[in-house]
Structure 1
Amino acid sequence: MKHKCLSELAQIAMMLEVCAETKPGNVDRRHDYDDTWLEHFLASAILVKPAFEKAENFYEYSENFSSDSLFFSDSVSYTRSVDEKSPHIKTDNTINAPSFNIPSLAEDEKKGGLGSLIYEAVSLTNTHSGGNTHFGAFILLIPLIAGGGITGATELVKSTSVFDAVLFYQAFSLTSVRMNDSDDMDVSDPKSVEILREKKMTLYDVMEYSSKCDMVSNEWISGFKLTRKTADFLLNSGRGKNAISDAYMKLLAENEDTFVAKKLGADASLWTMKTAGKVLSGEISVEEFDRICLSKGINPGSTADIIIAGIFIALIEGWKWDI
């Protein structure tokens, strides 16, 4: 199957990951969460296209970028209105986000970059009621698209700016992504943006700062090590889309998911990793592991983000998912 562009392949990667069968703890074709469904993930894969297209034409985008085109708001609202006679429920879900003042950077410092694209991707996909679906995936996919793969992305992330970091924090504030309670760079605190400016922290610096406790951030610092490993697994599997669940389980069995750690603590992430290993060794079924994860609220979201990035790299290197 031939595809025209990298942005399209990135969308397909997002689609394939969520549609995979049995990814313990995460939304897949077998089950939703109460408030986030498979359809929300698919909607995000469609809605993000403009940001991915800009990433694919990164240098042109950066050169022609105007900070005036950015939309900073106090909140992002989603409203679904229906006729009173309709059997459907009327909802008005508002995501409140802190308002950040953009620091007084020189205009030539306000260049379009990875931060503005991540912000746009989050904004575009924040228009349904399913909440954050792909924030971590965007952190990986945007540079991978812009760099045309791992080698280019590894170099590109090192050239990020303070403005990229500011916009990343603005994007972060629109999500419900968890931060460590002890973190002094709290995205919910507008003062954090001023700290970024005072310390002259670029987006790469932010990722390096977070890399010890966040496996997605660590991909930027490690040269997308786990993304590469996942892509190689898929490329060597010879099994098409059916290999995605296996890649997920292998990654989960070899690494503590940092999203689980932030949400439920280190004991939960260690248990998840060890139990995934038991699934691979046949000591417990994947279905039972999935049931336990769902009952305990364990959702290995960072693992899923890296799987998406790995699928994308495999696709651009010729992996056939539909065999």
Structure 2
Amino acid sequence: MRTLHSETSKLVANCASLAALLEVSAYPKPGNIHRLNDFPDTSYEHFLAGSVALGSVMGELAARSYVNENYVNTGLGKGVLDAVNEIFEWQHGGNTHLGVALLFAPISAGAGKWHRTKSKNITELRNIIKKVIEASTSDDSIYIYEAIEKAMPSKNLGKAEKLDIQDKKSINNIKNENVTPLQIFQLCKDRDQICHEWVTGFETIFETGYPYLKSRLNDGTSVNSAIVDTYLHILSINHDSLIARKNGVAEAEKISRKAKWILELGGIDSEEGNK
């Protein structure tokens, strides 16, 4: 017999995997890897495997949050690390979903508690996610650092003036000063989109991405086209922080302008936009 929190776990796990599968499968979506484009060591199939693998961990986060009476001991950071470990266990194409794990973990934990309230108010979900993040501790920070260090090549990390992941002293500083993930992400919110989401209570997702996606789907747009155009819509407003780190801000802003231009032509369902 299923308990309410196990039903919540199943729901959130399936949602997480489905969201990741749909995102990587959306075509033609600009990006490094998609249905018709692989890298020498990383393929579309690696992303499919990673998408499925992370679901169970997101379900566990939701279940733990569901049974907690308050917002502490959710295990947010451990959830990120567990997701990365699962992803690497089920595929050998390198880092496929670190960014997704960092974004999905607070959402999944928040969704667990939101599901318990039986609320369908999306603003309430966002408020709960904010409280989950605010309740995270220095232990969560350390787990997140472990996850990033395992998943990300050092060449893609960049350098930080304070609490740099590649600086071995950072972990001791986090412990001694009780530095939370929220405090760490405050330091990088202006140069990294994931940090920005944590600090702003997922501003881009709730104020830009979700309303646009919902509107396109309500208009009868196919799931595939709605996802691609939502990606372009977000990209047209916020330049890709990974591109900025690897190729410079000017290149990232150039790509954002191109995304805006494609949408102005009618998006991917238009002949001109599809080109």
TM-score normalized with structure 1 length: 0.68
Q: Which of 22, 31, 49 in structure 1 is aligned with 2:28?
A: 22
Q: Aligned-pair distance for 1:121?
A: 0.4
Question: Residues of 2 paired with 1:41 and 1:234: CA distance?
Answer: 22
Q: Secondary structure at the match of 2:94?
A: coil
Question: Residues of 2 paired with 1:233 and 1:206: CA distance?
Answer: 30
Q: Which residue number in structure 2 is paired with residue 225 of structure 1?
A: 203
1:209 paired with 2:187, answer yes
Q: Aligned-pair distance for 1:159?
A: 0.5
Superposition pairs of residues 245-256 of structure 1, within 5 angstroms: 245-256=228-239
Contact 1:122 1:135 survives alignment (8 Å) = yes
Structure with the larger helix share: 2
In 2 relative to 1, CA 277–112 (structure 1 residues): closer, same or farther, beyond 3 Å? Answer: closer
Question: Residues of 2 paired with 1:191 and 1:60: CA distance?
Answer: 35
Percent identical among aligned pairs is 26
Question: Residues of 1 paired with 2:257 and 2:161: CA distance?
Answer: 27
Question: Residues of 2 paired with 1:22 and 1:7: CA distance?
Answer: 26
Deviations 1:102-158 (A, max 9, x none): xxxxxxx9x561001001001111132211111111111111111114231111101
Q: Which residue number in structure 1 is paired with residue 172 of structure 2?
A: 194
Contact 1:61 1:112 survives alignment (8 Å) = no
Decide which structure has the larger Cα Rg and report it: 1
Question: Residues of 2 paired with 1:120 and 1:166: CA distance?
Answer: 13
Q: Which residue number in structure 1 is paired with residue 106 of structure 2?
A: 143
Q: Aligned-pair distance for 1:275?
A: 1.8
Q: Secondary structure at the match of 1:181?
A: coil
In 2 relative to 1, CA 60–246 (structure 1 residues): closer, same or farther, beyond 3 Å? Answer: closer
Q: Aligned-pair distance for 1:184?
A: 3.6
Q: Which residue number in structure 1 is paired with residue 133 of structure 2?
A: 157
Question: Residues of 2 paired with 1:160 and 1:20: CA distance?
Answer: 33
1:259 paired with 2:237, answer no
Q: Which residue number in structure 1 is paired with residue 122 of structure 2?
A: none
Q: Secondary structure at the match of 2:151?
A: coil
Deviations 1:181-223 (A, max 9, x none): 3544222332110121233211111122221111111111112
Superposition pairs of residues 81-100 of structure 1, within 5 angstroms: none
Q: Aligned-pair distance for 1:38?
A: 1.1
Q: Which of 58, 64, 67 in structure 1 is aligned with 2:64?
A: 58
Contact 1:22 1:30 survives alignment (8 Å) = no
Q: Which residue number in structure 2 is paired with residue 167 of structure 1?
A: 143
Q: Aligned-pair distance for 1:244?
A: 0.6
Contact 2:185 2:199 survives alignment (8 Å) = yes
Q: Which residue number in structure 2 is paired with residue 176 of structure 1?
A: 152
Q: CA RMSD in A?
A: 2.4
Contact 1:213 1:258 survives alignment (8 Å) = yes
Question: Residues of 1 paired with 2:12 and 2:183: CA distance?
Answer: 27
Q: Which residue number in structure 2 is paired with residue 44 of structure 1?
A: 50
TM-score normalized with structure 2 length: 0.80
Contact 2:78 2:140 survives alignment (8 Å) = yes
Contact 1:118 1:168 survives alignment (8 Å) = yes
In 2 relative to 1, CA 7–139 (structure 1 residues): closer, same or farther, beyond 3 Å? Answer: same
1:113 paired with 2:75, answer yes
Q: Secondary structure at the match of 1:165?
A: helix
Q: Aligned-pair distance for 1:270?
A: 1.3
Q: Which residue number in structure 2 is paired with residue 300 of structure 1?
A: none
Q: Aligned-pair distance for 1:281?
A: 2.8
For 2:231, give the aligned amino acid.
Answer: Y
Q: Which of 15, 18, 21 in structure 2 is aligned with 1:12?
A: 18
Question: Residues of 1 paired with 2:274 and 2:32: CA distance?
Answer: 12
Q: Which residue number in structure 1 is paired with residue 121 of structure 2?
A: none
184-193 vs 35-44, which deviates more? 184-193
Question: Residues of 1 paired with 2:212 and 2:39: CA distance?
Answer: 28
Contact 1:234 1:240 survives alignment (8 Å) = no
